[in-house]
Amino acid sequence: DKAGHKHFMAKEIAEQPQVIGNAVKHYFGDSGQTISLPDGGIDFTGVDRLVMVACGTAYYACLTAKYWFEQIARLPVEVDVASEFRYREPPVTDRTVAVFVSQSGETADTLAALRYCRDKADRIVSVVNVAESSIARESDLALPILAGTEIGVASTKAFSCQLTVLLTLALEAGRQRGTLDEDRYESLVAALRGLPAVLGRALDNNAAAEELSLQIAEAQDILFLGRGLMYPLALEGALKMKEISYIHAEAYASGELKHGPIALIDKHVPVVVMAPRDALFDKTVSNMQEVMARGGKVLLISDLAGIEAAQDGVWRSIEMPSVDPLLTPILYALPAQLLAYHTAVAKGTDVDQPRNLAKSVTVE
């Protein structure tokens, strides 16, 4: 049942305020400040690193979480795609927490990576949508993301719910390790509780994304740029775009632009710049200006302050609500999804069942 939407993907994008609200309530309760985890939880004080392993969109959720765990909990994090991790035989010690992220819980490479860590890691934690899945069953601790059934092959609400649960875990790690002062912790929990309302406002950009997509649909190539927390999100935006619109899309860390990819820029290449006005904003803007100086067509996704400061010469902009900088990946996932969705609709592709793709990849 598409609940009045044209595609499951549109429905699943629109459900995000609600499912994220459910996830926050599940972990923090109606008004609590600390989270309760099943099965003995995780002791983040006795470990010296995390390894996080996943595929595709779930891998980008892990890349985002690396920034969170390192910043919030001062815990080193190694992130890898499961198909590489499992054959590399990397050292994993009993001072490592191993985290596996999977919507389906059945991805063959992720499951194999989990089994590789089984008798080596301190604890096997999974972050899953399907609670009865193989990955959930074989973990010491399985944390649900509570996104509800996701039918569209391109992951949307599962991604933002994965991010929500991973940020929650990073906050818990920071609290346990004493790296996050109490006021900051409380303000972040409050920001998480306020997120559904903010996400609802971000969805107001639906019509703007739809209108823009008519022009983006003409492109042969699209670039996505971001720095810091926006870099993994740029990767996710490019993946979403290519898998459903079949337009070639690439993402780069903004600072890498001048090391090669800037050679691709001309007036036919839309460049999507994701840049909330955070501590790295000015750096990204200077990369964006390098793109514009070469005729690149910039779509700036930022908040009001960012757009006011940097809109000179940009092709178009999408205005996002402002939130705490640590929460921006969850919020900025929405315009990335909306752009991909409307571009695919404009191109007339099979949005919910893109060619060559399966929802659950149970063979390697």
Q: Decide: is 58 part of the binding site for ligand F6R (CB under 6 A).
A: yes
3-class DSSP state for residue 156? Answer: coil
- Which one, 47 or 161, has the nearer CB to ligand F6R? 161
270-274 vs 221-226, strand pairing mode: parallel
Q: Decide: is 57 part of the binding site for ligand F6R (CB under 6 A).
A: yes
* Minimum CB distance to ligand F6R, residue 92 (Å): 20
Tokens (6 digits) for 117? 């860590």
Q: Decide: is 205 part of the binding site for ligand F6R (CB under 6 A).
A: no
Query: Of residues 219-278, which lie at the interface with ligand F6R (CB under 6 A)?
Result: 239, 243
Q: Decide: is 56 part of the binding site for ligand F6R (CB under 6 A).
A: yes
- Separation of alpha carbons 14 and 29, rounded Å: 23
- Which one, 158 or 167, has the nearer CB to ligand F6R? 158
* Minimum CB distance to ligand F6R, residue 269 (Å): 23
Tokens (6 digits) for 65? 């979480």
- Which one, 33 or 362, has the nearer CB to ligand F6R? 362
> What residue number has its CB nearest to ligand F6R?
56
- Which one, 67 or 159, has the nearer CB to ligand F6R? 159
CA–CA–CA angle 301, 215, 262 (5° rounding): 60
Among 107, 328, 337, 349, binds ligand F6R (CB under 6 A): 107
Residue 63's Cβ-count burial label (10 Å; 0-12, 13-18, 19+) is: buried
Give exposure, 123-150, as e/b (b: 16+ Cβ within 10 Å). bbbbbbbbeebbbbebbbbbbbbbbeeb
Among 55, 233, 247, 298, binds ligand F6R (CB under 6 A): 55
Among 64, 104, 126, 245, binds ligand F6R (CB under 6 A): 104
**DSSP state letter for 54:** E
- Separation of alpha carbons 214 and 207, rounded Å: 11
Count the residues of the shown chain that bind ligand F6R, applying the rule CB under 6 A. Answer: 15
- Which one, 22 or 57, has the nearer CB to ligand F6R? 57
Q: Is 267 in contact with 253 (CB distance < 8 Å)? A: no
Among 64, 110, 160, 287, binds ligand F6R (CB under 6 A): 110
Part of the chain binding ligand F6R (CB under 6 A), chosen from 98-106, 178-186, 305-313, 334-342 = 98-106
Among 113, 135, 139, 115, smallest CA distance to 125 is for 139
Residue 359 annotated among the catalytic residues of the structure: yes
> Alpha helix (H) ranges present in 46-130?
56-73, 82-88, 108-117
Residues that bind ligand F6R (CB under 6 A): 55-58, 102-104, 107, 110, 154-155, 239, 243, 360-361
Any idea which residues carry the catalytic annotation?
359
